[in-house]
Amino acid sequence: MRAKVLIAGIPEEVENYIFALENAGLQPVVSTTMPTSDGLVIDDFAALLLPGGGDIDPSFFGQENHGSRTIEKELDIAQLNLAGLFIQAGKPILGICKGCQVINVSLQGTIIQDLENNVHHQAYLGNAVKHKAVTLKDNVYYDLFGGDEIVINSSHHQAIDRLGTGLSVCQYSDDHVIEAIQHESLPILGVQWHPERMAYSKHIAGEADGTLIFEYFKKLAESALCSNSGK
């Protein structure tokens, strides 16, 4: 039985994530509420994926708007609520781009609302840019990618500022923006880049293989599924 993963997003906006999860051997379900009128409950899911998107309303991390844009407050509320439920349940979470920031805010962290060097990171005319990143030692990303510089894609103008409780930095960009985090005791991962766009396709030497992240997330989800079935 495939482990079921909740994608906290809008169906027509998360097709890349659905593709990546399916190719990893997982069963994605897209919803922004829990529980819902269609009967979804947290026990139905092994893990949560928080996808990319617009900017989080800065009121959720105690700030006025100083450069945030494309805010969808109702979606923020839904994603933060779901993140809180899965954190409380101790279930695996993978946050990508905005999703990484949602994890951080859920754990009382803050966001840089507009990077000083944002042209190095944000998409131009819909096309993601690429830059180098360095992975620190003693974390899951080092196990996956090693310590050499890798090239990652980038499509954001915001980033994590103050880390949320229990989170640690695992990867930095070449201009020292946080690119990956993990929780010190819970199965929670977040990346500022987009592994779903670099997964399950021809791998280019020197670039991060996003497939590795989804394969690892599958292991976490399957482990959680086994734990839940054993209750």
Q: DSSP string of the chain?
A: -PPEEEE-S-GGG-HHHHHHHHHTT-EEEE-S-SS-TT---GGG-SEEEE---SBPPGGGGT---SS--SB-HHHHHHHHHHHHHHHHHT--EEEETHHHHHHHHHTT--EESS-TTGGGTS-BTTBPEEEEEEEPSSSHHHHHH-SS-EEEEE--S-EE-SPPTTEEEEEEETT--EEEEEESSSSEEEESS-GGGGSSSPPPTTB--THHHHHHHHHHHHHHHHHHHT-
Q: Are 94 and 100 in contact (CB under 8 A)?
A: no
* The one catalytic residue among 179, 194, 203, 207: 194
* The one catalytic residue among 12, 97, 149, 207: 97
* The one catalytic residue among 156, 157, 196, 222: 196
Spatial neighbors of 88 by CB under 8 A, at least 6 apart, are none
121 a catalytic residue: no
97 a catalytic residue: yes
176 a catalytic residue: no
Active-site positions read 97, 194, 196
